[in-house]
Amino acid sequence: MKKVLNALALMLAIVTALTGCGGKLRYPAYYTLNLPAPPDPPPAPEKVRTSIAVREFQSPPYLRQGPIVYRTTPEEVGFYEYRRWAADPRTLVTSAVIDHLRAGGQFSTVSTYDGRPNNDYVFSGKLERLEEVDYESGVKVEVAMSAQITKVATGATVWSNAVSETDTVSQRNVRGVVSQMNRTMELSINKLLATVPAPPGSER
């Protein structure tokens, strides 16, 4: 019994130390990109018999750590300790690009890249920026990404594009920042894919 009481006293002391003098434990809040689904794809033309596989987007290591990122200067990267992404933004962007390519109707098949050379083309992208910007007037968000399409048979790059969008945040809190990131990300994806030809590199 004495051991049990000692253990309970120790647990109480730890809880008290964690909560501080009248303070409360803080728990992380989790956010996600909620990108709208594109319209249903149109029927592919009979002559379109091309397939494309989309690699998972790459990103700088600091965008893969979980916390939402902000910059107080162009050189300084900060992280919200208790404001985190519920899912890796790279995975969400990759999924959104796949949906948009399917909706575009340029390809008969759009799939996730699995390492096998059984597609006509491979789409590779990089999420360069997804962050809050605080070093200019007002609070803004910046989204930047680039991508290219490679023809599997030759290894040649048949298309590439890069976009960068910065938009002002109207609601100056983390929820408002994430909402604006959603809108800016949607705009960026649409602009990134707007120049994909149909089909790219169709000469054989």
| Side-chain half-sphere CA neighbours of 1 within 13 A | 0
Of 42, 38, 50, nearest to 198 (Cα)? 50
CA dist 122 and 151 (Å) reads 7
**pLDDT confidence of residue 24:** 72
Residue 20, both tokens: 């501080």
Report the chain's terminal Cα–Cα distance, integer Å. 82
**pLDDT confidence of residue 47:** 64
- The model's pTM is 0.82
According to DSSP, the β-strands at 121-133 and 140-151 are antiparallel
> Residue 4 gets which letter from DSSP?
H
**pLDDT confidence of residue 11:** 54
Judged on CB neighbours under 10 Å (0-12, 13-18, 19+), 80 is: middle
**pLDDT confidence of residue 17:** 47
| 53 φψ region: left (φ > 0), alpha (ψ -120 to 50), beta (else) | beta
**pLDDT confidence of residue 105:** 84
Quick check: 170 and 177 in contact, CB under 8 A? no
**pLDDT confidence of residue 192:** 97
**pLDDT confidence of residue 102:** 92
> Residue 47 gets which letter from DSSP?
T
Whether a cis peptide bond, with omega within 30° of 0, leads into 199 is: yes
Q: What are phi and psi of 56, to 5 degrees?
A: -65, 135
Residue ranges in the chain modelled with pLDDT below 50: 2-9, 12, 14-20, 201-204
**pLDDT confidence of residue 186:** 96
Of 168, 123, 166, 167, nearest to 146 (Cα)? 123
CATH class of the domain comprising 27-193: alpha beta
